[in-house]
Amino acid sequence: MTNSGTPLTRTGAPATAHQGAVVGSVLTLPLFEQLCGVLGGHPYVKVVVDRQQGVWHILDSAVHSFHVNYIATEIQALTLEELDAELDGFNHSVYQDPERRFLLGVLSLHFGGPEEQSQPFLVLETTEADTMGATLLTEFYSFVREQLDSALALLVKPANHGQANALTSVPETVLPRTQGHELFAAAPFVPLTLGSAVGRLRAFASTEEYLAARPGLTWYDIVAMPVVPDDIPRLAGLLNGSPTTPLSHTNMLAAGWGIPNAIVRGVLDRIAAEDLDGAWIRYEVLADTAVVERAEQPSDLSEPTWHTQRIRLDAPQVADVPIVPLSELRSHDRRSYGTKAANLGELHHVLRHGSARLTGYYSVPRPPRPDLLGHLAGRLQTPEHADLAEAAGAFLARRVSAPEGIAVPFAVQQRFLDSSPAVQQSIGKLKMALELDAMDAVDTACVQLQHLVRTLPVPEDLVRALDTHLVKHLAGTSRFAVRSSSNAEDLPGFSAAGIYESHTKVTDLPGLLDAIRHVWASLLSPRSVRLRHQAGISLDDTYMGVIIQRYEASPLGGVMVTCNPTNRADFRNVYLNCAHGSTSDVVDGTTLPLQYLYNTVEGGGRTISLGAASEDLDPHTQDHLGELALAGRLLQSHFATDYTFAVPLDIEWLLAPGGRLHILQLRPYSA
C-alpha cells in the first residue's frame, strides 16, 4: 500500500462533498467554528492535504476522530477492516514515508495579546509520531496558508523534538512558528484529574492567605489558588490559576484521592467577579473544559464515604529482621523493609540478571494490533526475531544504575520505639485520641510524640550495627541520602506523596542517626496521621523502614510516571519532569520543572513546558531522557502484578555525566 505524492500545487478544484468534511474550500472563522471540536480548552479541526490531487480536506471533528480512518474510507474506498489489517503499514505511509501522498495535521485556534486586544490566530501541527522534516513542513504550511482567510494568522508548532531540531535552519520569516511550551504556558485550561464535586469554594490569592485559613479547611472545601501548595489536607477539589505539573506531590495526592483538579487561567478573577468565594459550587473537570457554577448547599454534611473506608495492609514482618544491603532485597521483602526499599532491591536483581517479564507491556493486544513487539524491536534497534526480553535486559544494564545502599527494616524502628516507656505512653494517648476522633488532641499528641522520637537516644548496639554496615557497604561515601520506606504508602487509594521525610545532606554518623529519627518521626506527623486515619489505615498497622543511599550528585534530576497522567487512555506516552538540581525541587513545588512527553511505541518526544528554565535541554540530553522513558516502560512490565501490565511506575532519577541513568526510587503510581 503506497501513498507516494508529488510536490504540491493548488489545482483550484471547487469544493466537493465528502462524508463529514469540507473539501477544497477556503477556511474562514465561521467555517472553522462549524467544524471544530475542543481539546485542552482550544477549538481545533483536523486537516488532510492530498498532494496528489492538490486539495485539502477539513474534517468535521464530531464525525471523524482519526485522520487515517477518513483517508482510508473516504478517499481510498477501503473498509475499516481492510485498514485494520494493514494499520501499521498504512500509518508508516502517512507519517514516515518521505514520498507520502497525504500531509496530516491539526489546526487549533488561539488568541494573542492583551485581553481587550486579543486577536485570533491558528496553529498548525502534525501528529506527535510524524517524522515530517523541514521541507515537507514548509510545503504543508505554504499550502494551508493559501487556503486560509487572509485575516487569520498562521503559525507552525513542531510536534516533536525531531521537527523542532529540523526547523532550526529555517528562518521564521519563511516558516512562522511557535513552540508547544509557549502555548502551554498560555493555555486557558489543562485537566489534571477528571472528576466532579459539589463543595464550598475557598479562594486564596497568596500563600499567606491560605496558611491563615488552613486550620478551618474541611473535606467539602474546594480550594482555588495560583498554585495549590504542598501541604493540603484532604479536600473536595483543587483549582490552580497558574501552570503547575501533574507530578507535584499536591497533584499526585489529588489524583490518588480522585478529586477534580485543573489549571484554569484567570479563575481567581472570575471568582472575584462573580462573588463565588465562600459560595457552594458544582465543580467538574472534563477532558476539554472545567465547569464552575453555583450550587445548593447539601442538606446532609455528614462525613463522606471515604471517611469510613478501611485500607488493609499486608501483615508486616518485624521479628528478627536484619539490616541488609539494598542489593540483597527482592519485591517480597516489602513486608519487612517497605515498598521503596524492596523495589530497589528488585531493580538490582533485574540489572544483574534480566527478566523474562520486560516485554510484557508490549505483548498486550492493542486492537487491531495483536501486540506492540515490532515497535519494541524498533526502539531497541533489534531484529524482531531476536529475543526481545534479552535485548531489553541488555539495554537496561547498559543505561541504568541502581543506588548502592542499605535497608533498615521495620524491626529496628519497632525496637527503638519499644525502648522508651515515654514513647509508648505517648503512643497510647494518640491511639485514644484517634478512637475518639478528637483531632485537636491527635495533633497535640503527634507533636509531642515526634519530639520524643527525634530526641530519644538510639540504643548503642543499633548504632554499632549501622556503623558496621556503612563501613562494609558504603565506605568512601562523603554524603548520604536517607529516605523513607513505609508500608503505608503507594497503596490503591492512598499515595502518601510527600507526607514522609527524606534527608539528602547527611555527612557523618551523628547526622545519619538524626536523619533516621526524623524519618521515623514523619510517620507520626499530624498530617500523615490525619491522612491515614481518613483513609482508614490503623496506626497499629503502620511501620517505617529507612533507606540509606550513597548520595549521587547530578546536574539534572527529576520524576517520571510511565503513563500520561492527563490522558490515561494514551498507551504510548510517559510523562517526565526534571530540573537542574535536586529531584525534591520537582515534586515539592520549589520550582516549576521542565515537562516532557515521550512516546515509547513509535519513538520521539516533545516539550510540554520549560517551567522555570530559560531554555530547553539540548538534543543530546533529550535523547537520554527518551532512553529513560523506554527504561521506565520496560521496568513497568517487570514490576506489574497483573497480566495487563497496566499499573504505571513513579520513578525518581538522576542523569549522570555520560548519560547513565541513576534510579533513586521506583514505586507504583497509585493515582
How far from 78 is each of 74, 98, 366, CA to CA, in Å? 8, 23, 21
Give the pLDDT of residue 583. 66
- Quick one: which of 267, 126, 254 has its CA closest to 531? 254
The three grid cell numbers given for residue 236, joined into one nine-digit string: 473536595
Q: How far is residue 147's CA from residue 27's CA, in Å, rounded to a whole number?
A: 6
All cell numbers assigned to 265: 487561567
- Concatenate the DSSP letters of all residues of 525-584 into one string: -HHHHHHHHHTT--GGG--EEEEEEE----SEEEEEESS-TT-TT--SEEEEEEESS-TH
Q: For the stretch 311-331, what's the b/e string if a residue is b when 16 or more beta carbons lie within 10 angstroms of its beta carbon?
A: eebeebbbeebebbbbbebee
Report the C-alpha gap between 21 and 5 in whole angstroms.
Answer: 21
Residue 543 has phi, psi (to 5 degrees) of: -140, 160
Angle separating helix axes 439-455 and 526-534, nearest 10 degrees: 130
Which contacts of 511-517 are long-range, i.e. CB under 8 A and separated by 24 or more positions? 512/466, 512/470, 512/480, 512/482, 512/548, 513/458, 513/463, 513/466, 514/454, 515/480, 515/482, 516/408, 516/458, 516/466, 516/482, 516/546, 516/548, 517/453, 517/454, 517/455, 517/456, 517/458
Number of domains composing the chain: 4
Same-domain check for residues 557 and 542: no
**Cα–Cα separations (whole angstroms), residue 546 to 309, 312, 321, 335:** 28, 22, 13, 13
525 backbone dihedrals φ, ψ, rounded to 5°? -70, 150
Instruction: Count CB neighbours of 359 within 10 A.
Output: 26
pLDDT value for 15: 43
Angle at 194 between CA 190 and CA 199, to 5 degrees: 105
Q: What is the CATH number of the domain that holds 513?
A: 3.30.1490.20
Q: Which residues 6+ apart lie within 8 Å of 658 measured at CB? A: none
- Backbone phi and psi for residue 204, each to the nearest 5 degrees, phi listed first: -135, 125
Distance from C-alpha of 403 to C-alpha of 396, rounded to nearest angstrom: 14
Residues 241 and 133 in one domain: no
User: Residue 333: its pLDDT value, please?
Assistant: 96
Q: Name the nearest CA neighbour of 203 among 271, 261, 250, 262.
A: 271
3-state secondary structure of 83: helix
Asked if residue 587 and residue 466 are part of one domain, the reply reads: no
Residues 6+ apart with CB under 8 A from 369: 87, 88
Evaluate whether residue 319 is within a structural domain.
no
Kindly state whether residue 11 falls inside one of the protein's structural domains. no
pLDDT at position 5: 42
Instruction: Judge whether 326 lies within some domain.
Output: no
Are the C-beta atoms of 230 and 249 separated by less than 8 Å? yes
Number of C-beta neighbours around residue 555 at 10 A? 11
Residues 6+ apart with CB under 8 A from 614: none
In the listed set 178, 212, 247, which residue is the last one of a domain according to the structure? 178
Taking the C-alpha atoms of residue 605 and residue 128, their distance in angstroms, rounded to an integer, is 8
Pick the last residue of a domain from 130, 158, 178: 178
Q: Is the same domain home to 614 and 544? A: no
Phi/psi for 153 (5° steps) reads -75, 150
Work out the burial of residue 661: count CB atoms within 10 Å of its CB; fewer than 13 is exposed, 13-18 middle, 19 or more buried: buried
CATH (domain of 216): 3.50.30.10
The 8-class DSSP code of residue 612 comes to T
Claim to verify: residue 239 and residue 371 sit in the same structural domain = no
Residue with cell 469510613: 308
The residues facing 197 across adjacent strands are 283
Q: Give residue 582's pLDDT.
A: 62
For 252, the enclosing helix (H) or strand (E) is helix 249-257
Look at residue 390 in the predicted model and tell me its pLDDT.
96
Give the CA-trace dihedral at 439, 198, 42, 90, to 10 degrees.
90
For residues 160 and 197, state if they share a domain: no
Supply the DSSP string of 214-226, one letter for each residue: GGG--TTEEEEES
Residues with Cβ within 8 Å of 605's Cβ and at least 6 positions away in sequence, in order, are: 160, 161, 596, 597, 598, 599, 622, 625, 626, 629
Give the integer Cα–Cα distance in Å for 387 and 376: 11
Which has the closest alpha carbon to 141: 114, 113, 169, 167?
A: 167
Q: Is position 219 within any domain?
A: yes
Which residue, 70, 69, 61, 67, is CA-closest to 37? 61
Question: Residue 178 in contact with residue 125, Cβ under 8 Å?
Answer: no
Do residues 38 and 129 share a domain?
A: yes
207 and 171: one domain? no
Question: What number of CA atoms fall less than 13 Å from residue 152's CA on the CB side?
Answer: 23
In this predicted structure, what is the pLDDT of residue 91? 94
Task: Return the pLDDT at 495.
Answer: 78
C-alpha cell at 588: 515539592
Cβ(586)–Cβ(556) below 8 Å: no
Edge-to-edge strand list for the sheet holding 661-668: 400-401, 661-668, 649-655, 556-561, 573-579, 594-599, 605-609
Domain-ending residue, one of 529, 549, 569: 549
> Residue 492's pLDDT is what?
76
Using the Cα atoms of residue 565, residue 182, residue 231 and residue 307 in order, give the sign of their dihedral: negative
Same domain, 25 and 173: yes
- Residue 173 sits in the same domain as residue 50: yes
- At 368, is the secondary structure helix, strand, or coil? coil
DSSP, collapsed to helix, strand or coil, labels residue 154 as strand
Q: Is residue 589 assigned to a domain? A: yes
Is 312 among the domain residues? no
On whether both 572 and 542 belong to a single domain, the answer is: no
Q: Print the domain residue range for 561.
A: 352-383+553-668
- The answer for residues whose C-beta is within 8 angstroms of residue 379's C-beta and 6 or more apart is 600, 601, 603, 630
Residues 118 and 229 in one domain: no
Looking at residue 13, its pLDDT comes to 39
Averages of pLDDT over each 10 residues, the chain, 671 residues:
37 54 94 90 93 96 93 94 94 94 96 67 94 96 95 95 95 95 88 94 96 93 95 93 91 89 95 97 93 93 68 84 96 95 97 97 95 95 88 97 95 94 96 91 95 95 94 94 92 81 93 97 94 89 95 89 91 94 63 94 95 93 96 97 94 89 90 67
Residue 148 lies in a domain: yes
The enclosing domain of 584 has a CATH number of 3.30.470.20
Q: Is 284 left (phi over 0), alpha (psi -120 to 50) or beta?
A: beta
DSSP label at residue 72 = I
378 phi, psi to nearest 5 deg = -65, -40
d(CA 586, CA 652): 10
292 falls within a domain: yes
